[in-house]
Structure 1
């Protein structure tokens, strides 16, 4: 499948710290990328807030928006959406598991070159391939139970809870021992825009996002998730 094109990744698409062109030689481009990734995936807000002249609360709010988006990705993978009746405690459990999982993304940010290019060495987190075999087995069993009318007297919320709780448990267990794909390299250019702000392109944002988390499912017979 095609990789997800994320519209919710506010941290990665944020404008970089403002510097005048005369001070551009002092701007730590690789440090900025490091702090941005640490804030986005690992929930480390202080340095990113400092370098962007933001408050920790603002950065944390963007982080929570990102985790909410990734929660919706997981729900789509499970065949659900926010339109389904999903208890808030289950949404909180998914978000917590994703926070734990994403805190383990692997990347090394190298020093920028003279042209402002920053090389990022990444081991993509292989979430959905890693979960797929057990998800498939569970879904086959659950479908058979449903065909046997086991849930005919359940409310919508009870049915969703019966279905989703075991999948959240699988996600939580996977977060304790995640798997990774072969390393890849992403090169992004941090440049001074016409309005005096350092920026990275939308294409760079997408490249980083799709490299850190592998959203494809390799088995051609598998159901796939799709991005927004």
Structure 2
């Protein structure tokens, strides 16, 4: 089972929200604030600063965050496998906690011909390391006690129940690798509107949440 990125499908929503700022008025400091507030809104559900520096409304920012939660649930795959509503809801309940595991700090920005290169210090979450092996062991142990071969729905329930039990302590006591620097490009578009590179956000998300087979 390969973990999917928790911050993928909603990036088009984030990238579509631009700043109304003229080129000669938008400073490196404002680029830092823009990226920091966008990440905080997307991963932590903190909207005040994001709304203040963009053309988005509070409702739009909240919708972006809620879509990110849906992306977590969709990425885990619980709703397409026929597991119980109770277990599916448990995954939905921890989705905000999974998003909040993102560890980042926007540190600086440098103006370029295209806009700004914004440096972000990230610490990769290491809680997924060894998860697959532990999950396989837990499933094998449970399967050894079964008297009948489970059908697909029952098997999926076993897999996702055990994975949830393994995830919860990783969320409660997260571990991280060494800090590394990632560059986010803030691109100046038409009418001096600025957008965050969608591709950069995807790559940074994978860097913050490295998974395994």
Q: TM-score range by the shorter chain?
A: 0.7 to 0.9
What is the total number of aligned residue pairs between the two structures? 208
Q: TM-score normalized by structure 2?
A: 0.81
For structure 1, which segment, 5-14 or 62-71, has the greater mean C-alpha deviation from structure 2 after superposition? 5-14
Summarize the Cα distance change of 1:87–1:52 in structure 2 as closer, same or farther, 3 Å threshold: farther
Indicate which of 99, 111, 132 corresponds to 2:96. Answer: 99
The match for 2:122 is 122
Summarize the Cα distance change of 1:27–1:123 in structure 2 as closer, same or farther, 3 Å threshold: closer
**Superposition map of 1:1-228 within 5 A:** 6-10=8-12, 12-25=14-27, 28-75=30-77, 81-115=78-112, 116-146=116-146, 148-149=147-148, 151=150, 156=153, 160-215=156-211, 217=212, 224=213
Give the CA deviation at 1:199. 1.4
2: CA distance, partners of 1:183 / 1:3: 22
Q: TM-score normalized by structure 1?
A: 0.77
Give the CA deviation at 1:128. 2.3
Gaps of 5+ in 1: 76-80, 218-223
- For the residue of structure 2 that corresponds to 1:23, the secondary structure is coil
- For the residue of structure 1 that corresponds to 2:82, the secondary structure is coil
Give the CA deviation at 1:167. 2.3
Task: Give the ranges of 4+ consecutive aligned residues of structure 1 lying more than 6 Å apart after TM superposition.
Answer: none
Give the CA deviation at 1:162. 4.6
Aligned CA RMSD, in angstroms, stands at 2.9
Summarize the Cα distance change of 1:84–1:189 in structure 2 as closer, same or farther, 3 Å threshold: closer
Give the CA deviation at 1:193. 0.9
Give the CA deviation at 1:195. 3.6
- For the residue of structure 2 that corresponds to 1:13, the secondary structure is helix
